[in-house]
Amino acid sequence: MIAITAPGDKHNMFSDREFRFKFLLAAVGALLVAALITAAIYAILRSGWVAEAQNRSIQLGNTIEQRLQNEDDLLALQITSMYASAPLMNDILDLFRSKTSRDYLDARLRRSRMTSASIRSFPEYIRAYIHRYRSSLYQIVLHGEDATHILSYSGGELAYAFDAPFAPQGIQNDVAMQKAIYNPAGNYEKIGEVSFLFRTSDIVRDLDFSAFTWAALTDGNGNVFELKNGSNPKAIALERVALIQDFSRFSFQLVTFMDDAAMIRSNFPIPLILVAVMLTLSAISISFLAHVIRFTIQRKQHIQTEFQLKIQQQQAEMRMLQSQINPHFLYNTLEAISSQALLNKNRPVADAITALGSLFRQMTNLPSHISMKDEMDILRTYLRVMEIKCAGSFCYQVELEPDLEKFQTVKFWLQPLAENFFSHGYDLASPYNLLIVRCYKDNRAVCIDLLDNGQPIPEERLALIHDSLSQPEKADGGIGLRNVHSRLNLFYGGGVSITVSNSEEGGVIVRVRIHETATKGGQQHV
């Protein structure tokens, strides 16, 4: 048995490969476009977020500056009052000049013996100030010519640290304000400086720095007072945004940093929604492009199929005319008819001539796409002519199920299959040559069988036929099985198979099977 595979399978393989390639390019392009759109929208949003962060930083800076201004105003008031009090000025002079706490206490004792008035204490004066205004001041550092003293206030308690080291340079946790102290009794000669340290946590209380990765105050002396701990400010990455707010009345600056991760977190879930929308648009675009690509490929294949079908039909008709209606065919047919007329002198001669003329008319007048009934009628006419030509040594039988009479097909493909019997299977020595043609439904397919009792095909010849039909690109231009198979697959869009085998009872069986999928394709030609 020989099975002829549909050439449409190879075309489908190439079309699927073409679709996958074009779909991949379209998907990559759609994703790139979506990524570019997403990046552009994110850049716009990021610009807005940076502007919003800038405004927030300005507001925070203004609030901090206002609070520092309040502390500075209160300090200025206290220092002015201190200059108006001689006992206070004497006490602070004793603090600057003393090297130890005992030196300071001895100086206070000597001064108290010299006057009956109460000796006012500068440390107590500052503690009263802290309590009265609930100031965030917690430490005072006196920088004299010979020593540095530290006064610390914690929970209402006062602690002294005379001649203590103090290095304000570098990163600190708190803000320091420095004030110069002058001696009004000595022509306002400068006697030293006092650093007032304020707790940063009190200054920035109830202020929200959550939108920033790091925040700090800096002064003109290179001090950095952290407001929010985060990444090391010396290792700021390029993608981070630095916002600097200068204070108008102080040498401080508010420096804040924020990166993309902080901006995304503070504006969540807007980026998530943006990504979801872009992915949805990408999916819709890819799906639409897939339909467009599929439609374009199918349309191109349809145009190619229609074109090839028309070419095949024209070639088949031309070859039919060249091979069937040629002088040799007419000579032999007319000679047989003439012989019958001379011998019998009866009506069959007229019938034969009528059948021959009918065959010519059917071949030339019918359209290229006809019903199965019309195709069977052409075959009957041809077989009737051959019956007369074979002079009683040939008979035939054609069967067509009524439900298949309107089934659409191409014109003139059964006659070449029947002609193979007369070319290869017809036995001149046999008085009884038979050809049966049946068209019927088998499950979900339409089957056409051609059975004869002629000479079987040698196995070697079957193998050669199989090799020839399995390689359509090596077609030799004939109108036999290969040409019929190609025309039917073009018309039905694939799904047509032809098998050739030797019958166990003798003869050859040619079976054409048009599968359900192909049948649906054929119905489009109704």
Assess whether pLDDT exceeds 80 at residue 13: no
Does residue 81 carry a pLDDT above 70?
Answer: yes
pLDDT of residue 433: 92
Q: In the structure, what pLDDT confidence band is assigned to residue 28 with cuts at 50, 70 and 90?
A: confident
CB within 8 A of 478, min separation 6: which ones? 319
Q: State residue 414's pLDDT score.
A: 93
- Of residues 442 and 280, the one with the higher pLDDT is 442
**Quick one: how far is CA 328 from the chain centroid?**
68
Q: What mean pLDDT do residues 260-269 have?
A: 70
pLDDT at residue 402, rounded to an integer: 94
User: Would you state the pLDDT for residue 252?
Assistant: 80
- What is the CA angle 60-66-70, rounded to 5? 145
Is the model's pLDDT at 393 over the cut of 80?
A: yes
Q: Mean pLDDT across the stretch 8-24?
A: 61
Residue 218 pLDDT > 50, yes or no?
yes
Higher pLDDT, 421 or 292: 421
Q: What is the dihedral of CA 38, 44, 50, 54, to 10 degrees?
A: -160
Q: Dig out the tokens for 450 from the structure.
A: 């051609």
Query: What is the CB neighbour count within 10 angstroms for residue 437?
Result: 22
**What is the reported pLDDT for 327?**
45
pLDDT of residue 350: 61
The mean pLDDT value of the chain amounts to 77
What pLDDT is attached to residue 35?
A: 77
Give the Cα separation of 143 and 125 in Å (integer): 19
Per-residue pLDDT at 312: 66
Q: What pLDDT, on the 0 to 100 scale, is given for residue 471?
A: 66
% of the chain at pLDDT higher than 90:
10
Which range scores top for mean pLDDT: 177-191, 253-267, 391-405, 502-516? Answer: 391-405
**For 65-90, what is the mean pLDDT?**
87
pLDDT of residue 235: 42
pLDDT(11) > 70: no
For 151-172, write each residue's pLDDT tens digit.
888 877 888 888 777 655 444 5
Mean pLDDT of 496-524: 79
Residue 494 backbone zone (phi > 0: left; psi -120 to 50: alpha; other: beta): left
Residue 445 predicted with pLDDT over 80: yes
- Please state at what angle helix 122-133 crosses helix 86-97, rounded to 10 degrees: 110
Tell me how far apart the alpha carbons of residues 349 and 299 are, in angstroms, rounded to a whole number. 52
Q: Give the separation between CA 3 and CA 501, rounded to whole angstroms.
A: 9
Q: What pLDDT is stored for residue 332 in this prediction? A: 60
Asked if residue 338 has pLDDT above 80, the reply is no
Question: Can you tell me the mean pLDDT for 379-393?
Answer: 86
Indicate the pLDDT class of residue 435, thresholds 50, 70 and 90: very high
Specify the pTM: 0.45
Residue 425 has pLDDT above 60, yes or no: yes
Residue-wise pLDDT tens digits, 308-325: 667 766 666 555 554 444
CA distance 153 to 122: 13
Which of the pair, 515 or 525, is modelled with greater confidence?
515
**What pLDDT band is residue 27 in, cutting at 50, 70 and 90?**
confident
Task: Give residue 316's pLDDT.
Answer: 61
Average pLDDT estimate for 427-452: 91
For 382, the enclosing helix (H) or strand (E) is helix 372-389
Give 184-213 pLDDT, tens digit per residue.
876 778 888 888 888 887 888 888 887 788
The yes-or-no verdict on residue 446 having pLDDT over 90 is yes
